[in-house]
Each structure stands twice: as structure tokens, then as C-alpha cells.
Structure 1
């Protein structure tokens, strides 16, 4: 038997261990409303609130930045690249703050700072000022707020975590479709400075009351447990309390000693680098292939639809299939998308390309969200996911630059797109052998023994 199949079987054994060893421990679900379902829209709101710091949110302001500040394209993109790279560094510290002070306190502080940075961005008058705006927009928005919103539901759900994460990311897919047009409308209506100020004030107006009145970090704070189940085990699923999680979770050092951690980290960096590179350079790539702006628009439209569908399907699959198999499938889809972009020949290729990119991102997001708590536990999840956020943000800064530099040096995108096609292929095989670390399985076994 392969290591992959044995790892999958061991994971299933752990999940069913309680019912096998203590048949009388199965319990019925709590009849009260499970507050985790209230946390789902709150976590979705927090994810959407990152939009002013996401590439799709910032890009609508690029022409305004260049015109108002008298910048060249290279100055603008260079400031964005360096700002994004430096923004990745503190993510591990943000995760540590979450572990120490809790999600509610940490995310409230981030929201206050992020709204302030949006107001600061509306007042920049120079390239250095814009650089610092990019740095803190990326650090606090796409980085810290994205990281913290991504951790929220893992404390409330276990069996349905993949499904609810898919629903949360559907909200972000909707934001990708709406926010750029909304930003352009705001710029036309009130100017780019007031537009960014309005975005910052909106983040405060929506998120701060929600955090103050409705946000709860853990089900124990409202007298419940994950999935709304009483403490114990039901339907073969271990239901850990906060005290159990402290005993069964892996520390960052223990996680980094496992094979699964490094495979997951590399897969995250791979998608972030290649996906960002393709989208950032879509227009010049399509132009080099004889296509136009309308084809680029269709690419994003098809991608958004495919992504929304795959968030739901991928979330359902993540609750029913081995996560390492889904991760391998995501890497295969990513390689296929890069190959299609490399050999792009006509407008007819745009539709399957958009669908395949949406499939790849939907699968990897649906897998990554539940893999951290299931493979490593929740007690140190902030620190562990913080390192992955550092890799993701840093990789997203390198991808567009590598693609552009390859074109400048070689006169075409062919060589770099071939490289991008080959890079994910080894990860397909490595993902198959990335299973729950043995130390985590042993601790769960002791919990239910």
C-alpha cells in the first residue's frame, strides 16, 4: 500500500476512533441555533472588506495614481511590487497576535488601522507616499485582514468547514465581479481621492459595529461546540473543546518538521506566483497572441463564474474527500491552465482558459482553508497560517515581475510560460503524499482512547 493511501486510511481511523472505542458516546445535535451560521456572513464581510487592499481593488486607481503623481508605468508597478513584498514579512507576527489575544481583538485593531490607511492613501502626493500606501494596504488588507478572516470559521466548523469556506469565498468572487466597476464609478463621481476615503470609511462603518456587537471567537463563548454538537463525538467525528485543542494541536515548530507543511506552503506559493503573474500580465500576453481587450474582459468574466461555482463544489468535496488528493488536483489544473496560456492561439481558447483557472483556484482555496486545522489543529493556527500568508503575499510580488522580465530579456512570453507550466507538475506527486502529520494523529488517538 502506498504512503498516500495509508495516510488517508489513518486519517479515517482517527475520525472514527471515538465511535469504535466508545460506542455509547455518540450524541445527538444540539437543538439550539448554532451561532457558527451567524459567523459565516461576518467572516464573509471581513473577507470582502479586504478589497481596497487587493489587486483587483487597487488596479482601478492605477491610471489616477499615475496621472496625479506624474509616474511612469515602471515606477507605479515597482512601488507596488516592493510594497507587496515587504508587506508579507509581518504576517507571522499577526498570526501570533491572534493566538495570544484572540481573533476579535486582533481583527478589530487591523480594521481600524486599515480604514486609516485608506484615508491616508486618498492624500498621497508623491511616489514615496504611494509606496507606503501600497505597503500598508497590502499588509493590512490582503495580508492581515485576509489572514484573520480566513481563520474565523475554523474555530466553529469541523465536518462542514470545507462547505462553509466555499460559501465564504463565493462572496469574494462576487466582490471581484463588482468592486472594480464600483471603484471606477466612484472615481468618476467624486474623484479618486474621495473614492479611497469613502472605501476606508465604509470598512469602518460596516466592520466595527459587526465586530463589537456580533463577532464571537469560539463556540465556547456562547455555550456551544464546533458544528453545534455537544462535546464528545457524533457520526464518527471528534468534537474537540478548546482544552482538547491545546493538547492535540501542533506548534509551529512541530508543523514545520512535517512533510505536509512544506508541501502545502509550496503549493500556496506556486498558485500565488503563477496566478498573479497571469492576471497582472493578461493584456500584454493576449496582445502578443493577437487578441484584444475584449478577450481579456471575457477571461475575467469566465474566471469569476467558474471560481464561484468551484468554491461551492470544492467546499463540498473538501468535506468528503482526502485533502491531499484535492491539492494534487489543484496543482494539475494549475499546470493545465499555464499550458493553455502558453499555447494560446485564438479567442476560442479564452473560455476554457478562464474555466480552468477558476477550477484551479477554487480547488486550492477550498483545500487550503480546512487543511490547516485538520492537519495541525487550531491552538497555534494563527502562527502557522501566518507563515503561509507571508509566502503567498511574497510570491504574488515576484510572479508579475518574472513574467515581465522574461519578456524583456527574451522578446516573448513563450519561455517563461513554459517554465510556469512545468513548475506545478512535481507538486502533483508531492501533494499525494502530504497527509496528516503522525504526531497530530497520535494526539487525536490519545484524546479519544
Structure 2
């Protein structure tokens, strides 16, 4: 406890870090206040008794939006349209030469891609806004002016503006705050549901005399979080050596630079939460074909969900990790893997390691994704069960670890001890790795 208090004091003694934390908290507060501002014309009293009880997939969407989706807030669509646009642009980069060219243009190309992503976000918001309003404003008890075309236009504009404002908040947090702003907003939205979900589970167990079961549930949740941390942090490091080089100095003199050692970090879960996001999007289709897929706690839903996650893990890793490109970059930089010849042999070596990592990683990811279904079948209420796995838990763990990493970097740069005893956090990517790894949500 003393070490924890000492770390908190160290954090507040670093002026820049303190300002960034306060700035981040203020923007998060703005986001949370905005999520409670109801869309004009919506009957909030009717929403409390009708729309707040959505379950299944709609309930999951509401969790990601921090409850704003069910409240029909001006920020109901949240950050997800921007995430969808980012995914589309990432996939276009694999097939469209023009996008590939922008990706190779460095900072200027990144700005162009960001601009196109925002335009695509607006288009997605318009379509999603119309569908969303049709769902919630169709019954006359929900909205007061649904017969007015002006109300529909202004509501779509407000929902689109709400999403773009949330996106702007995320970008400001990334630039001037602590952590990845977009991911942090999603995590805050998920965590906002935790107190009520926990209270609901506490009330349910208290009325049934099952407080011991509640304690068992909390212990089980603790171990699930530990396993998720292991999945997120698990890394296979490939050692890389850089050959000595002759460096020209001032005055025409030459010097030999020392050989450097680094490594290529290959994560067990290289695809992050993307396979779960893709699988959840695809699960909407069978739900229209057969009613059995509407039950998120059902056997067939989770069996197909698990298989899709394993398939998408292989697919996403294949399109984001190119062993041939990695081998070429190593060769051009004069680096090599000890005991492996540069070029084709290096590419085959990296590919074989990836193949051995993907299988256990995809299976483990699939198990974590369907754990909420097991929790629901164990008589845990749906709201609290979502915290036992799936995208919610993976995003929260990833965001917390990334934020702690940035805070610890500030502390170490200011000559303070890190957040973890013994210095830097384990399982972290090293900045001087010769091949940069793709970042996921």
C-alpha cells in the first residue's frame, strides 16, 4: 500500500503528466455528460419503461455506447461509426492501389487517410442514424414529432454531429491527454455500465440468499481478467542482430558503429479484438435466417461465433502480417535473425512461428469471447455477464495496460520508479524493434 501511495505522489509530482491526466478526465466528463442529453422530440419517460430493457445484440451495442444507445442520446451512435470507417479504410489499403500509395507517403498520406476516414464516418452515421431513428421513433409513444420531415433531418444531423464530436474528443485525448483516446472512450463507455450491473447482481443474489455465490463470481471474474491479461501481453520475441556499420563523420573520418541487438515481438493474439468485431458483425446475418441465433447465450449462436473468431483470427493476421515484407525490411536495414539466412529463409522462419502462435491464440480468443454465455447460463444477469469476456473485457484490459504503459513512461523519464515493482512492465513492445507491429483497437 505504501508503494501505491508513493507512486500516486510521483505521478502528481510530474507537472506534464498531471496536466495530461486532468485534461483527459475533463474530456471524459464532457463525454459522459453528453451521453445523458436526450435527442429533441424523444419521450424520455417512455424510453425508461420500454427501450432501456433491450437485450441480446442491441444490449451489447448499448454497453459499448455507455448506455447512450438506449437513452436515445445525442451521442447514441457513439464512436462505433468511426471504428467501422477505420476498419473499411484498413481493408481498402489491402486492395485499392490509391490507398496503398497514401499509406506509403508517411505523415502526409496519414493525414489524407484520416480525412477520408472522417468523410466515410459521416456517410455511415447518416445510414445508421436513419435506421436507429426508425427503430426508436417509429412507435408514437417514443417521439413527439415523428411525422415531421424536419425532425428526421435535424435528428440525423444531431446524431452525426454527436459522433463527430466524440471522435474529436478521442483525438484530443490522444494528442494532449493520456492513452489512446478512441479506445479510452470505448472503455469508459463499457465501465460506465459496471456499477449498475454489479448492483443488479448484488440485489439478485441478496434476494435469493446467494451472497456466497456472488463472492465466487467475483473470484471467477478476477481469474478471467488475469487470463485475459496473459493473452494480451503474451509475446514471442524473435532476437535480431544488426551488423556493424562504417559511419562517415565530420572531417572525412570514418568510424565503425557497434552491432545492436533487438527483437521482433510476435504477440500470441496479434489480431487484437478485430476477429470478435468482425464475427459479431457477421452474426447479424444468421439471426435473420433462424431465430435460434438471436439468443446470445444459446449453443448454436456461440458455436458459430467461436468458429468465426478462429477463422477471422487467421484471416486478419494474414492480411496484417507479411513475413516476406518483414524479411525484406530486415535485409535492407542490415539486420538478421541469428542462425537464419536472410531473405526467403527468414520469411519462412517468421511464417512458421506465426502459424504456431495463431492456433492457440485464436482458440483462447474464441473461449474468452463466449465466456459471457457461460456466465448467463450460470444465472448471472446479462449486464454483469458481459464483463466476463468478449470484446468488453479485451478492450478494457488492453486500454488499461496501454494507459499504464504511457504513465509509466513519463515516470521513468522523470527518474521515478515505474508502476510495477522492478521497473518497466513486462510483455511490452520495445521501441527500437526493427519491424513495427500493426496496432489494433
Higher RCO structure (Cα 8 Å, ≥6 apart):
1
Larger Rg: 2
Structure with more strand by fraction = 2
Which protein has the bigger helix share? 1
Calculate the TM-score normalised by the size of structure 2.
0.32
**Structure-1-length-normalised TM-score:** 0.32
